[in-house]
A and B are shown apart, each in its own frame.
Chain A
Amino acid sequence: MKTLLFLLALTSFAFAEEELLLRLEVKSQGSNRSLSHTVRIQNGGSGSMSVSPQEKKEGVFEVWRFHPTRLSSDKIRLESQLDVRLDEGPRQHSKFSTTLLEGEPWEASVDTPDGKATLDYRITAWKIPAGQRLLKFDKDGRPQWVTPGNY
């Protein structure tokens, strides 16, 4: 019983302290836009990312909000919300709830509120090895890690 409790506490602690890497790739059919962001976010925490044009002319305003939670060694639960709007036009709100396999991309497509463009999103998540940071992605899109100080 004590061993079970110890393992439970250790697992919860290890998962709680862990950080995850989320890569969001965006392609916009119609505006020839290709953009990818990668964020580091704490397991069980939440983070948002908004992309908005400085000048309000035919720009797409997007706000992504993520809440990743690691379920097991290779599964990550991702609750996410996406707000899309054009200039001062109507806002489109989408909610996604999915279980990702580490390193396996998850894809979603959303039409802009005016229906003139489709936004294709691809999200991939990894757990960050303890004490390491992202150096770069290799040609296959896998993250290469580095220990800070060893650049």
Chain B
Amino acid sequence: MACDEGLIHALFDGELSAPQQAAVRLHLRGCSACRQVQKELNWLHKTLTEAPRRRSWRPLLTAAAVFALAFLGWRAWTPAPLPPPTTNSSYEISLNGQTHQIKVEGAELVELSLGEQNVDLRKAKIE
């Protein structure tokens, strides 16, 4: 039997009949060049099967983008429930001769005017 690298590949892939396998194996015993080909083929197969598979991020990124767009759309069109206020401040002001209390929660009162007159919030604030 003459050297035939194609038959070694076919043997490796299990594509030969039993008599053909026996003939190729017999040839391999006596041919160092073909044994070297078989050895390299085994090494290549082992290397490929043990190599870490490259992970594809494309499906994950697509899903994340779809989720982000859906979330932004939902935020834009759906009124969000009112979360509880987090900060408190209280002010006393005089309005038409009557004292009023202004309480602010979850926001900062930065300006307060009575008619055309600005109220000094530092003086008005109740500590």
Interface residues of A (CB under 8 A from B): 1-2, 4-5, 8-9, 12, 21-23, 31-41, 44-55, 59, 65-67, 69, 71, 77, 79, 81, 97, 133-134, 136-137
Contacts and interface: CB of A to CB of B under 8 A. Distances in A.
Interface of B: 58, 61-62, 64-65, 68-69, 72, 75-76, 79-80, 82-86, 92, 95-96, 98-115
Nearest to A75: B76
A5 B75 CA distance: 17
Contacts, number: 124
A8 B61 CA distance: 12
Helix, strand, loop or mixed for chain A's interface? Answer: strand
A71 B75 CA distance: 9
B79 A79 contact: yes
A54 B92 contact: yes
A21 B110 contact: yes
A129 to B, nearest CB: 14
Given A39-B109, A49-B109, A134-B111, A54 B99 contact: yes
A45 B84 CA distance: 9
A67 B82 contact: yes
Given A32-B96, A97-B79, A8 B104 contact: no
B114 A35 contact: yes
A148 B107 CA distance: 18
Nearest to A128: B110
Given A55-B99, A69-B75, A47 B105 contact: yes
